[in-house]
Chain A
Amino acid sequence: MFQDVSQRADRATVSITIDGVIHQVPEGYTVAAALLATGRNASRSTLVSGQSRGPYCLMGVCYECLVEVDGIPNRQGCMTEVRDGMAIRRQQGVGVVGQATEQQEVGDGR
């Protein structure tokens, strides 16, 4: 479990929800950091086998941190900073299918 070592108790916080649960996290957290700091090591489950996956690289290269942010799926949690009132949902299995297909039509690197 990740803990805060910043020694900055003075940081302003914002209020977000993760899968409907309200959390206060300091400003400047990425969505992926917010998941980890609240004890969630998984951000999504895979299309093919339904395995859980969690943030892996935190720098935008692995796409394991894809989450739904304010209703928009497939946002990179490690590249998105939290905002007051943000609603984050971890992406579950089949919920992803339609979006992933749409993504692959335009961006699969073929």
Chain B
Amino acid sequence: MDADLAIVGAGPAGMAAAVQARQLGLSVVLLDEQPRAGGQIYRNIERPALRDRAILGPDYYAGAQLAEAFRDSGCRHISGATVWQITPEGQLFYSSEGASASLNCRHVLIASGAQERPMPIPGWTLPGVMTAGAAQILLKNPGLAAQDAVFAGSGPLLYLIVWQYLQAGIRVKAVLDTMPAGNYRSALRQLGGALRGRHYLIKGLKLFREIKRAGIPFIRGVTELEALGDSGSGVSQVRYRAKGRQALIDTRQLFLHQGVVPNVNLAMASGCEHRWNDRQLCWTPKLDPWGQSSQSHISIAGDGSGIGGAVAAALRGRLAVQQIACLLGRQTAAQRDASSRQWRRQLQRELAFRPFLDTLYRPTEPFRKPVREEVMVCRCEEVTLGDIRAAAAQGCMGPNQLKSFTRCGMGPCQGRQCGLTVSELMAELNQQPVEDSGYYRLRAPVKPLNLGELATLADPAATIDQETANEH
């Protein structure tokens, strides 16, 4: 046995869980494919790239404390390691620097976080079109930003990133906001929850005011978006429609964003059951209140268990560990409950705000399910909406069958950029609930490996040398 607990992901959920598990006396190994701890929100926090701390703001630097506690916790950290399989026996396989290795643990906590929701507009495959998260990643490491970019979509993270660009002194060409005005009305029904998270509301409003004050064009009620350009030189213009009128903006850089959704590939491929979550419009794992999945040796915490934000992610990480320590016989249920009470209350408070956010920034159908036949749904295998409609007309029943009809979802990203779109599209085309239409059946390895990487498993001499793996 290599450790009591293996954690996948060094974001707030994984780091908080590791610290907690060490305090409860568990031996812990944490793996993350990034070179340094921090996850998405605290990416690169231990070696901040920007001299000016005002650019990313205090919520980013708040992560330094957790990262330090994690560093000092005595948890073994294997960085640069992509986990590609968790077997029913608790064996975990990962690859690092082109070689594969495995670990044996009594329990696994998946804290793999979120990714941005796909936004399949016409032209989204042109070079120069990226996610807004990508813009922020480049700011956090190594400190790059693009002048005169257009940001399009909606959601708190989009506005935060625009604000961060402005703090960096970068000109923003325009913000094209796709949130429909009608969402305000529906969101008001969630006002009770919104008020419980009023500190977030106040922060958000301040951000909006500052974006407004910067005087950049902020176009509301955008109902259509298209990136124009050619494959050779990339995007050159963005066409949009707002309040019935069409307009064009020149730009070499378009950043898209419409919220984040759980990273489900590893959990699904490990056999954890998932359900369609209609409020967050994504698949979320079936979990008990401690984050225990349908697989007895796997728990899931953080945004990978449903979007809750960084504070909730850390709380869920700690709560999951309380139960794991109990399962492994390190504490009694009474001890578990006593130490968890306060975190559970905090978590409830954090999550009370979510229904309001989910309703307010619920992306509209045309941005989730493309309308024009030529729109690329599966970027890897170049499968368009037209191809998918044709497959459905020929009797294709769901996402999994669509693979054999069109190769949709069979490229290297393994459906990460088309899976949600395809779930909703196939449900619509076959007039079924999304839950019944289902998702791709995922199998390990969850990231493409070349044969050489698998060969290292068969040949122990070639396996990653434990001493030279990127450990700290």
Contacts and interface: CB of A to CB of B under 8 A. Distances in A.
A86 interface: no
B403 A6 contact: no
- Which range holds the interface residue count of chain A? 35 or more
A37 B127 contact: no
Interface string B26-52: 000000011100001000000101111
Interface in B380-418: 380-382, 403, 409-417
B460 interface: no
B447 interface: yes
B182 interface: no
B429 interface: no
A28 B146 contact: no
Interface string B409-434: 11111111100000000000000000
B133 A4 contact: no
Contact of A56 (B129, B143, B147, B448): B129
Nearest to B382: A48
B233 to A, nearest CB: 8
Q: Which residue, B142, B269, B403, B416, has most C-beta atoms of chain A within 10 A?
A: B142
A36 B451 contact: no
A108 B414 CA distance: 6
A7 B50 contact: yes
A51 B50 contact: no
B170 interface: yes
Interface in A47-85: 48-49, 51-64, 66, 72, 74, 78-79, 81
A64 B234 CA distance: 14
A57 B131 CA distance: 6
Nearest to A60: B33
Nearest to A44: B127
Given A28-B141, A55-B130, A62-B417, A107 B445 contact: yes
B37 to A, nearest CB: 15
B412 A106 contact: no
Nearest to B136: A58
A2 B145 contact: yes
Contacts of B379: 53, 56, 62, 64
A87 interface: no
Contact of B252 (A1, A33, A52, A103): A1
B327 interface: no
B328 to A, nearest CB: 31
Contacts of B131: 56-58
Contact of A58 (B47, B133, B448): B133
A99 interface: yes
A49 B380 CA distance: 11
B129 A109 contact: no
Q: Which residue, B35, B134, B445, has most C-beta atoms of chain A within 10 A?
A: B134
Contacts of A109: 265, 269, 409-410, 414-415, 440, 442-443, 446
Interface string B155-179: 0000000000000111000000000
B127 A53 contact: yes
Given A5-B139, A54-B128, A102-B451, A81 B417 contact: no
B134 A3 contact: no
22 contacts: A3-B145, A5-B50, A5-B55, A5-B139, A5-B143, A5-B168, A7-B51, A8-B50, A28-B49, A30-B141, A49-B382, A52-B127, A52-B232, A54-B127, A56-B129, A59-B137, A74-B448, A103-B450, A108-B411, A108-B448, A109-B409, A109-B410
